[in-house]
Each structure stands twice: as C-alpha cells, then as structure tokens.
Amino acid sequence: MVNYLADEFKKENTVDLRKDKMALQRLKEAAEKAKIELSSAQQTEVNLPFITADASGPKHLQIKLTRAKLESLVADLVKRTLDPCKKALKDAGLTAAEIDDVVLVGGQTRMPKIQEIVQEFFGKEPHKGVNPDEVVAMGAAIQAGVLQGDVKDVLLLDVTPLSLGIETLGGVFTRLIERNTTIPVSKKEIFSTADDNQTIVTVHVLQGERDFATDNRTLGRFNLEGIAPAPRGAAQVEVGFDIDANGIVHVTAKDLNTGKEQKIRIESSSGLSEADIDTMVKDAESHAQEDQERKKLVEARNTADTLMYSTQKTLDEHGDKIGDVEKTSIENAIQTLKEAMEGDNVGLIEGAMENLSKVSAQLSEAVYADAAAAEATESPAPEEATVGAAGPTMDADFEVVDEDKG
C-alpha cells in the first residue's frame, strides 16, 4: 500500500516520497491506519498535508482508497496464507472438512478478505472468540503452565519439524524419528559393526529429509569405544533417541555385549526458522528421485558386500567339502561381483549377486549336511537322556523398539 500511495503521489507531483525518510515514515503510518479502517469500512481517505515541498511550494497528499483496491494490492499475499494451511493438513493426514475450529492469529486476520478465503477453504466460519493479537501470547502462557505443572487439564502436542537419525554404511541417512512425530517420544534401533574386529563406532547424529548424510544438517557426533573385537555383524549397538517435552534430544549408543554406553545431549535441534525447515523439505522433494536412485545403488553395494563377505568366509572355512571346479566357480563369481560393485549399474550388481548365490548353493548344502551329521553323532540316544537337563536355547531376533511417551 505504501508503494501504491507513493506511486500515485509521484504521478501528480513528480516527487518520489520514498527518497525522503521523514515523508516515508508518515506514509507508512497513514497506510497502516488506512488498512485498519478498511477492515470495517468500504472506503477511507489518506490525507497528509505538507508531506513534502519543492521550488513551487508545499505538497499535500490526499488519496481515496477502497477496500477493493486494497484487496487487489495484496491478492498474492492473501493467496499465500493458505499454503501453510494446506501443508499442515497434508502433514497431519487430514482434510479441511475434518477440522473442528479454525483460530485466526495476528491482527491482519481481521481483514475481511482473509476471513472469506479461510471460510471458503475450510467450509466453516473461522472462530472469533479469541483476540488475534493476543492468541500467540495466550498459547505461550498455556504451554508454560503445562510445562511447569500448573495446568493439568490441557495437553499441547508438539511435533518434530524434521526427521532425526544417524549416518549408516555407505553414507546413508537412517531415520529413527520421522518428521512430524509427536513429542515427547523415544525410539531405539539395533545396529551392527561393519568391519571385522571393529572396536569403535562413530555415531553421527543428523536432522533433515534427504536420504544421504552429507545433504542433511549435523547435530552432533560421538564415539562408542571399547567394543569387544569380533567378526563384522557380531557386535550389536543399540542407538536410542529420546526427545523430551522441551524439544531437547538425548542420543545414546550402547554395546549390548559389554554394556558400555555413550550419550550426547542436543539442545539446538529446533534452532531453524520456518523458512529453513521449509527449504529443507522442498529440497528433499525436488531431489527425491535422484536420492532414491543413489540409495538403491548404495543398498545394492551393501547387500553385495555382505554376501561376498559371508561367502568368502564360508569358502575359507569349508572349501575342502566341495570339489575344485565348484570352488573355482565361487571364486570367479566373487571376483565378478567385486568388479560389478565398482560400477554404478544396480542391475549388474544384482545379477552378480544372484549368480554368486547360485554357484555357492552346493557349498551351503555341504556345510549344512556336515553340520547335521555332526549334530546327529553328538546327540545322545533317547534312553540315555539325562533327567532334568536344560531345554534348548532359543535365538532371539532383534527388532526396532518403539517407545512412544505421553
């Protein structure tokens, strides 16, 4: 509106009020007053005598302004107010019809056009029982009361603005807590070591929506040391994320074999503006296909590496149970897979994995047969079984532990 008034004055007087700081300040104050008046009136007048002067004498600004003109000037801004509403509904998995009440926030929502588009979008008249200038302060006061324990009959739910997780093999960002998860929340997941005799695990904590660690925001990094040397995959590390009601993130890493634990406290996880968060989400959306292709390649390489490692280990330990021809076939298949992993062709890697699994089938059968024979030899006859002997031990599968608080 300030620009409109300045342009209208310039047309008549060839003077740009925006270059005069004192005149510009008076113009801003008059525009604000006119905007407020047009929320309850169809027309108003901006009257600023002696706004400036030139060689011909003093100049006065007197312009009539209608509500329709104001609405045309801010049409783009009015339209943009619906974007956050659409985004909030999408994130919540709701439709406009499922919303019970719409509370208006901020003095600008007194503008009739704003109320009109809100009613059109949600299909109901916005709630007007709260002063829009005071609603944010009232909400903050209620939240403070809830956190302090003074207010017990109100539950205010906050959510994580971005996903939280750690970097795993291949630079992949593995999410433990998804974006828009209600807090407080606690989640744990079991990870294993990637190398033989690995004694240190670095936990790289990240925040973001991209599929790779390098494209997300680092929140912290710490080491879990003293892991007992063991073959890759044998050592199990439990990583836990805990977000309290204040949004403070506690990350722990615990070696399940030794019980050793390290932790980190992160208080700046929400230190991003809404614009920053929106940019990161849009960046993830625009790179979604590219990231998926990269992730598919990394996952194929990781799977291939695991298959190659386990097959080579079995071949080294039980290669004498198969013939030289079969042994050579397996070695050649391993080499082919290794070469495929150096490239970027996922199909080639998957084909090489399938071939390795096929040619190593006889080795697996020989190992199983040998193990079964050994078990049969060592097992006592039924009549010789010791009374009261302990029953069989069951192997437990580890899975993601989800402990939602609240």
Average pLDDT over residues 1-13: 90
How many structural domains are present in the chain?
4
Q: Is the pLDDT of residue 212 over 90?
A: yes
The answer on 280 and 295 residing in a single domain is no
φ and ψ of 254, to 5 deg: -130, 130
Q: What is the pLDDT of residue 274?
A: 79
Q: What is the pLDDT of residue 268?
A: 64
The answer on 338 and 253 residing in a single domain is no
Q: Is residue 400 part of a domain?
A: no
The answer on 279 and 298 residing in a single domain is no
Q: Is residue 50 part of a domain?
A: yes
The answer on 228 and 178 residing in a single domain is yes
The answer on 324 and 269 residing in a single domain is no
Contact at 8 Å (CB) between 155 and 405?
no
The answer on 296 and 282 residing in a single domain is no
Q: Is residue 99 part of a domain?
A: yes
Q: What is the pLDDT of residue 385?
A: 39
The answer on 275 and 164 residing in a single domain is yes
Q: What is the CATH number of the domain that holds 361?
A: 1.20.1270.10
User: If we measure between CA atoms, which residue out of 251, 191, 253, 255 comes closest to residue 229?
Assistant: 255
Q: Is residue 403 part of a domain?
A: no
The answer on 277 and 166 residing in a single domain is yes
Q: Is residue 57 part of a domain?
A: yes
Q: What is the pLDDT of residue 90?
A: 86
Amino acid letter, residue 31 = A
Average pLDDT over residues 299-305: 92
Distances (CA, A) of 295 to 144, 169, 206, 210: 42, 11, 17, 10
User: If we measure between CA atoms, which residue out of 362, 369, 364 comes closest to residue 323?
Assistant: 362
Q: Is residue 348 part of a domain?
A: yes
What is the C-alpha radius of gyration for the chain, rounded to an integer number of angstroms?
34
Distances (CA, A) of 9 to 61, 65, 343: 7, 13, 67
The answer on 335 and 271 residing in a single domain is no
The answer on 141 and 167 residing in a single domain is no
Q: Is the pLDDT of residue 383 over 60?
A: no
Domain containing 53 equals: 2-73
User: What whole-number distance in Å separates Cα of residue 273 and Cα of residue 337?
Assistant: 46
Q: Which helix (H) or strand (E) holds 373?
A: helix 361-378
HEC sequence for 98-160? HCCCCECCCHHHHCHHHHHHHHHHHCCCCECCCCCCCHHHHHHHHHHHHHHCCCCCCCCCEEC
Q: Is residue 13 part of a domain?
A: yes
- For the purposes of burial, counting CB atoms within 10 Å of the CB of 216, is it exposed (0-12), middle (13-18) or buried (19 or more)? buried
Q: What is the CATH number of the domain that holds 97?
A: 3.30.420.40
Q: Is residue 389 part of a domain?
A: no
The region of weakest confidence among 146-150, 256-260, 369-373 is 369-373
- The tens digit of pLDDT for each residue in 115-147 reads 899 899 999 988 888 888 888 888 888 888 877
- The tens digit of pLDDT for each residue in 70-126 reads 999 998 888 888 888 888 888 888 899 999 999 888 888 888 898 899 899 999 988
Handedness of CA 137, 141, 147, 148 (dihedral sign): positive
Average pLDDT over residues 57-81: 90
The answer on 105 and 15 residing in a single domain is no
User: What whole-number distance in Å separates Cα of residue 217 and Cα of residue 270?
Assistant: 11
Amino acid letter, residue 378 = E
The region of weakest confidence among 22-36, 62-76, 201-215, 374-388 is 374-388
| Cis peptide bond prior to 184, omega within 30° of 0 | yes
The answer on 62 and 93 residing in a single domain is no
Q: What is the pLDDT of residue 405?
A: 47
